[in-house]
Amino acid sequence: MSKKRPNFVVIMTDQHRADYLGCYGHPFLETPALDGLAKRGTRFTRFYVNSPVCMPNRASYATGRLPSICGARGNGHPLAKDANTFIDLLRTKGYRTSLVGKSHLMPMTSFPPTWGHQIGEDMEPAGAGFEEARRDVIPPETYNQENPAKWAENDGWKLDLPFYGFEKVFLCTGHGDQVGGEYVHWLKRNGIDQASVAGPDNALLSDAIAPQAWRTALPEEYYPTTYIRDHSLQMIDTYADNPEGDPFFLMVSFPDPHHPFTPPGKYWDMYNPDQVELPNSFHMDTQNTPGAVTQARQILDDYGMDPAKTMVILPANERETREAIALTCGMITMIDDAVADILRKLEERGLAEDTVILFTADHGDLLGDYGLLLKGPLHAQSLVRVPFIFADPHTKGVPVCDAISGTIDISATILNRAGLGGYHGIQGRSLLPEIKTGEDHGRGAWIIEEESQWPMFGLEPPVRLKTLVTEDWRVSLYDGSDLAEMYNLRDDPYEMRNLWNNPDYIVVQADLMERMAREMIYYTDLSPAPRRRA
């Protein structure tokens, strides 16, 4: 390894499952830049999120701690402003830090929560200072910085810096062609009225019928992916021009390929829906599959959710699914083209030999599994397994690593590569030993958590579940319900046979339950450390 502390570029996509890259075996999706990155780095095949939704998993990435431990348990739970992040640690050790794109460590809407603290009508409220279990809870208005309405209403709105450790931020909120944040101010500076070109009401003529799909009138050169590419190139130039040559940490965070499905220009019809093969589980007879999957198709009808607006599990027919997949591929290829430009800029500015590049995603998308789109409290592999590529010019690693690993390991890996010790309470492990040997030096299991504000599967919010993934199995348990899932991933990789209630697997079930209990004990928070021995 180089004795000089390396630069880091972390590239993150949104709602991007692992098998949607050429290097991960997709049959027709073209991603030459990311495939090339994998070819000169290490590609992880069993890399899992700690929560399959944005806010909690991004908080786990930033802190190296499980969602239930860092406090961002689900969407709508901001990461506390007093939480340590590995980015802020890098900043205090001399790294120049910047974020271009999506953060989502704070709520990105103005909607009120669906549940909260309830007291009986005949009870006196606890009063000021006793609203929560801790007295040092930061006021809610502190977490308005990513609220799209604030950015849209005020051209002077800006973040309080450093923002979770980032000294410079070009913020994007939202998804598709309806991204907000500083991106909206940039559009205005370029004479673009977003309200007149973005969204389904302004869409160009097309024959698409997929829910939340429209041919955006926003030109390619003003689409959010382009904004993120251009400002990433700008930051690379800024760092290259720095005479001190301090190392930098740049996070490039794309809001795509998260729905709505709105790839611009040539990316709209780059892939033909007719070439799409439906997933193996698309036509699965859900009536014969006990557990959460059985009920998923009824969600919209049961709760009156609008398919054009819902953020969670969405049933789709064959044509709708093929279109959604083709359009997702278009968004990913646009990202890959942007990544190619970023990698080229690093080369041109003489930074490539000192820059470690990591690529991952915050969670996946069902994209037709069980006849469903989007995401929800259903921990299928398509939602919980994401790509992870580690490319270090000074480390010759194995080309492919099958170690069970995931989001909370990223912070420890970066700090280890920078030669820095982490703060007490980081729960992930450095993956440098895995990158060197390909062997799994971890626990051989992974814990995934979710807490949803959406009513699901007959459960009222908060809908909570926990999942254990091992080399061969995935088991998921729901709070307040007898819903449970257990799949043999080796024999049933598409998770089509739920074995939870199968008496032939009662011993396996007991072993998995013990393993989950032991993993949860292991992940009990160790911070703060003891102050004395008593």
294 part of a folded domain: yes
Mean pLDDT, to the nearest integer, of 433-440?
96
pLDDT tens-digit readout, 438-483 = 999 999 999 999 998 888 888 888 999 999 999 999 999 999 988 8
Distance of CA 19 to the CA centre of its chain: 15
- According to the model, what pLDDT value does residue 290 have? 43
Phi, psi of 43 (to 5 degrees): -105, 125
- According to the model, what pLDDT value does residue 304 have? 65
pLDDT tens-digit readout, 81-139 = 999 999 999 999 999 999 999 999 988 877 777 667 677 778 888 887 787 777 777 77
Amino acid in the structure at residue 53: V
Give yes or no for residue 47 having a pLDDT over 60: yes
Task: Provide the 10 A C-beta neighbour count for residue 229.
Answer: 24
Give yes or no for residue 2 having a pLDDT over 50: no
- According to the model, what pLDDT value does residue 456 have? 80
CA distance 126 to 146: 30
* Structural domains in the chain (count): 1
120 part of a folded domain: no
CA distance 453 to 476: 18
Mean pLDDT, to the nearest integer, of 281-309?
64
Give yes or no for residue 1 having a pLDDT over 60: no
Mean pLDDT, to the nearest integer, of 289-315?
66
Mean pLDDT, to the nearest integer, of 269-273?
98
Phi, psi of 158 (to 5 degrees): -150, 165
Computed over every residue of the chain, the mean pLDDT equals 92
Could you tell me where the DSSP H helices lie in 218-280? 224-240
137 part of a folded domain: no
**Could you write out the DSSP letters of every residue in 108-161?**
---PPPS------TTS----TT-SSSSTTPPPGGGG-TT-HHHHHH-TT----S
Give yes or no for residue 169 having a pLDDT over 70: yes
For residues 82-116, one letter each, b for 16 or more C-beta atoms within 10 angstroms of the residue's C-beta and e for the rest, the string is ebbbbbbbbbeeebbbbbbbbbbbbbbeeeeeeee
- According to the model, what pLDDT value does residue 293 have? 54
Write the DSSP symbol of residue 280.
T
Query: At 136, is the secondary structure helix, strand, or coil?
Result: coil
Amino acid in the structure at residue 221: E
Phi, psi of 213 (to 5 degrees): -120, 125
Write the DSSP symbol of residue 178.
G
Q: Residue 251 half-sphere exposure, CB side, CA atoms within 13 Å?
A: 34
- According to the model, what pLDDT value does residue 435 have? 98
- According to the model, what pLDDT value does residue 349 have? 97
- According to the model, what pLDDT value does residue 288 have? 46
Amino acid in the structure at residue 523: Y
Contacts of 498 (CB under 8 A, 6+ apart): 289, 290, 291, 293, 485, 486, 487
Give yes or no for residue 296 having a pLDDT over 70: no
Greater pLDDT, 16 or 286: 16
- According to the model, what pLDDT value does residue 148 have? 87
Which residue from 179, 162, 344 is spatially nearest to 249, judged by alpha carbons? 162
Say how many residues make up the chain.
534
CA distance 484 to 461: 17
Give yes or no for residue 299 having a pLDDT over 70: no
Phi, psi of 238 (to 5 degrees): -60, -45
Mean pLDDT, to the nearest integer, of 421-439?
97
- According to the model, what pLDDT value does residue 298 have? 63
Token pair of 10 as six digits = 């972390």
Give yes or no for residue 292 having a pLDDT over 90: no
- According to the model, what pLDDT value does residue 132 have? 78
This prediction has a pTM of: 0.95
CA distance 84 to 92: 11
- According to the model, what pLDDT value does residue 285 have? 61
- According to the model, what pLDDT value does residue 206 have? 97
Contacts of 172 (CB under 8 A, 6+ apart): 101, 102, 179, 180, 181, 182, 183, 224, 227, 228, 253, 255
For residues 336-369, one letter each, b for 16 or more C-beta atoms within 10 angstroms of the residue's C-beta and e for the rest, the string is bbbbbebbebbeeeebbebbbbbbbbbbbbbbbb
CATH number, domain containing residue 62: 3.40.720.10
Identify the band that residue 484 occupies on the pLDDT scale cut at 50, 70 and 90.
very high
Q: What angle do CA 404, 20, 59 make, to 5 degrees?
A: 55
CA distance 261 to 320: 11
- Please report, rounded to a whole number, the percentage of residues in the chain having pLDDT higher than 70: 95
6 part of a folded domain: no
479 part of a folded domain: yes
- According to the model, what pLDDT value does residue 302 have? 64
pLDDT tens-digit readout, 61-72 = 999 999 999 998
Contacts of 502 (CB under 8 A, 6+ apart): none
Contacts of 234 (CB under 8 A, 6+ apart): none
Q: By residue range, what is the domain housing residue 465?
A: 17-107+142-522
532 part of a folded domain: no
Mean pLDDT, to the nearest integer, of 300-324?
82
